[in-house]
């Protein structure tokens, strides 16, 4: 079993040559930062991931979790690793300075997050949920709640969760039944059950702060009648010390396909007098507050796809270099399987996909930094529009791609990949849930088509395509990249054409448009990935022309982009045909045809 190594060289290339460091350095709070600092932090993150998190990843998967009398115990070494993780500040890199965060940019925390998740996805999920809770409280909570709860959430002394799903209310959040009863003193009593609550109970922290969606007795039906409540595991006294245990408990933990070291809990609120909670934001507007948490959570879930693809690729590459199988036709000598043509194809698929996804994730994070920090409101709005457009694309495309690439990683290992002892099956098992988390691929596709393409009349999509065309012009001006430019031009035209087509379908038949919205999203993801790799090829070519000594890496960048454009990107042709031709077939298929 190989050990994880952070992709520092690729991250350095992106930070130095794809991100707009000049603009980032002008943002308030980032003036004294630069690539040297970012690279130093990423180097330390890589060491932590390799030395602390990776060694307990496979063992944690095998050992799993224990629960007794509502108390969850995490695998050996996890609690101790969490203490080191928070002490080093890996949990609060981009959180606000006001409550103890480091105030560093999203581009940095996004890259660090990939590194940590590659090493141990189950472990990192705790701090990921806590960050989401912090963002929701910061956005919608009262000053009193912020002062009382945020410092210890930001420090990592306490954990946080998000509680949406119920046995009868999954994606249809508006059907939830959990009740909140106003006590008339600023508190509420919560009664209900929530399922699939990640790190709803654990032994990392002394207290867990649950954010719970519930309905007041006089609330309107559906999503317009949902409120958000902060419900602590232990009550917090005015001096910050912990008080009595709240009326909530972990009933059970799920037995899952993957992420065996991450507790997925069934939580019961108010079996007795009711769990005491506090309103976050306005009554009946809880879903809006929770979506602040969920939007950035979708970026994080997309990063899970990047992280597990990288981990699987590293394992496959190491194995392919070491495994002797077959002989060279000319020399008769045994060769490593990396010399076999189809193994090389599979490795290139993994490599090109992960580099495209990584570059896109950091482009989104950069836009997020600019939208949060820039002094010009118009610039902020412009960048937020790109974030809003790209998050559903990235989340779905990256996680769906991870399913393919982690399967490929098993295939490279042959029969040994199917055996748990080699470790590579874990990456596939851990990747499966990411497609479902924070909204399935279909939910992301419906968001993309209904809100991002139709509702805003493709405004932000037009901005994105404009950026793609700028890169296309640069590639067309470079004779060495003519074949990449040719494929990219066709892809952009196809995206424009089928964006208009699906918008037209949506206006005529919403159901028909949504029936092909996932193929449309995947088309968009593939083209966006091609744009990022074409940009990488342009920059690599420029550096080679300028005499950069890192020749093999830069040539590798160009050839990786070339492979993607010739071997991965052509999938858009089939997807485009599906978008144009199968909607009526799907909607016209009578349920009786499925059989009895």
Query: Which positions are annotated as active-site residues?
Result: 438
CA distances from 241 to 137, 151, 159, 207 (A): 20, 13, 15, 10
By C-alpha distance, which of 390, 385, 400 is closest to 532?
A: 390
> Virtual CA dihedral for 366, 368, 370, 374, nearest 10 degrees?
-160
Give every CB contact of residue 184 below 8 A, 6+ residues apart in sequence: none
Distance (Å, rounded) from C-alpha 321 to C-alpha 217? 64
Q: Which helix (H) or strand (E) holds 474?
A: helix 459-476
Q: Which long-range contacts (CB under 8 A, 24 or more apart) does 87-93 make?
A: 88/44, 88/48, 90/45, 90/48, 90/116, 90/127, 91/127, 91/130, 91/131, 91/156, 92/131, 92/154, 92/155, 92/156, 93/41
The stretches of 374-419 forming alpha helices (DSSP H) are 377-413
Q: How many CA atoms lie within 13 A of 578 on its CB side?
A: 16
Tokens representing residue 482 in the block = 């003519």
By C-alpha distance, which of 395, 388, 390 is closest to 436?
A: 395
Q: What is the DSSP pairing of strand 158-163 with strand 207-214? A: parallel
Residue with tokens 């830069």: 554
Residues 199 and 129 sit within 8 Å (Cβ to Cβ)? yes
26-61 burial: b if 16+ Cβ within 10 Å, else e: ebeebeebeeeebbebbeebbebbbebbbbbbbebb
Angle between helix axes 424-432 and 286-322 (nearest 10 degrees) is 160
């Amino acid at each position: 079993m190989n050990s994880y190594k952070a992709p520092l060289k690729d991250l350095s290339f992106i930070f130095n040559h794809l991100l707009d460091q000049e603009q980032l350095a002008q943002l308030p709070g980032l003036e004294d930062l630069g690539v040297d600092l970012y690279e130093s932090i990423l180097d330390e993150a890589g060491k932590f991931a390799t030395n602390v998190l990776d060694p307990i990843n496979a063992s944690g998967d095998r050992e799993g979790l224990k629960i007794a009398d509502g108390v969850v115990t995490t695998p050996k070494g996890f609690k101790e690793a969490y203490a080191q993780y928070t002490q080093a500040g890996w949990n609060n890199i981009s959180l606000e300075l006001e409550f103890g965060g480091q105030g560093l940019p999203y581009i940095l925390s996004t890259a660090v997050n990939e590194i940590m998740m590659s090493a141990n996805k189950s472990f990192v999920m705790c701090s990921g949920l806590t960050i989401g809770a912090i963002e929701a409280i910061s956005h919608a909570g009262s000053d009193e709640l912020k002062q009382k709860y945020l410092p210890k959430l930001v420090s990592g002394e306490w954990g946080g969760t998000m509680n949406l799903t119920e046995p009868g209310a999954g994606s249809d959040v508006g059907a939830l039944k959990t009740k909140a009863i106003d006590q008339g003193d600023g508190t509420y009593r919560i009664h209900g059950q929530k399922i699939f609550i990640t790190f709803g109970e654990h032994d990392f922290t002394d207290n867990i702060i649950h954010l719970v969606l519930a309905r007041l007795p006089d609330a309107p039906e559906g999503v317009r009648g949902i409120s958000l409540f902060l419900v602590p595991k232990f009550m917090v006294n005015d001096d910050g010390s912990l008080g009595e245990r709240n009326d909530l408990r972990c009933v059970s933990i799920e037995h899952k396909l993957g992420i065996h070291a991450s507790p997925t809990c069934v939580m019961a609120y108010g079996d007795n007098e009711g769990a005491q909670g506090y309103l976050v934001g306005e009554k009946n507007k809880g879903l809006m507050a929770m979506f602040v948490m969920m939007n950035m959570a979708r970026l994080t879930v997309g990063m899970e796809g990047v992280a597990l693809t990288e981990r699987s690729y590293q394992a496959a590459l190491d194995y392919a270099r070491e495994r002797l199988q077959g002989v060279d036709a000319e020399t008769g000598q045994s060769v490593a399987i990396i010399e076999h043509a189809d193994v090389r194809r599979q490795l290139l698929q993994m490599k090109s996909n992960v580099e495209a996804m990584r570059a896109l994730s950091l482009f989104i994070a950069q836009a997020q930094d600019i939208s949060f920090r820039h002094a010009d409101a118009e610039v902020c709005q412009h960048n937020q529009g790109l974030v809003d457009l790209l998050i559903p694309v990235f989340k779905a495309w990256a996680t769906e791609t991870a399913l393919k690439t982690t399967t490929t990683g098993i295939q490279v290992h042959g029969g040994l990949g199917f055996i748990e002892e080699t470790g590579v099956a874990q990456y596939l098992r851990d990747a499966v849930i990411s497609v479902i988390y924070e909204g399935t691929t279909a939910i992301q596709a419906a968001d993309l088509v209904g809100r991002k393409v139709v509702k805003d009349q493709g405004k932000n999509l037009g901005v994105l395509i404009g950026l793609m065309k700028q890169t296309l012009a640069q590639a067309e001006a470079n004779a060495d990249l003519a074949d990449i430019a040719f494929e990219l031009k066709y892809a952009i035209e196809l995206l424009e054409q089928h964006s208009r087509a699906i918008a037209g379908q949506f206006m005529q038949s919403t159901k028909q448009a949504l029936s092909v919205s996932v193929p449309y999203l995947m088309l968009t993801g593939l083209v966006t990935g091609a744009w990022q790799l074409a940009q990488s090829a342009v920059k690599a070519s420029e550096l080679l022309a300028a005499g950069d000594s890192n020749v093999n890496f830069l040539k590798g960048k160009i050839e990786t982009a070339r492979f993607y454009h010739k071997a991965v990107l052509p999938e858009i042709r089939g997807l485009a045909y599906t978008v144009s031709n199968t909607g009526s077939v799907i909607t016209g298929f009578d349920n009786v045809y499925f059989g009895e």
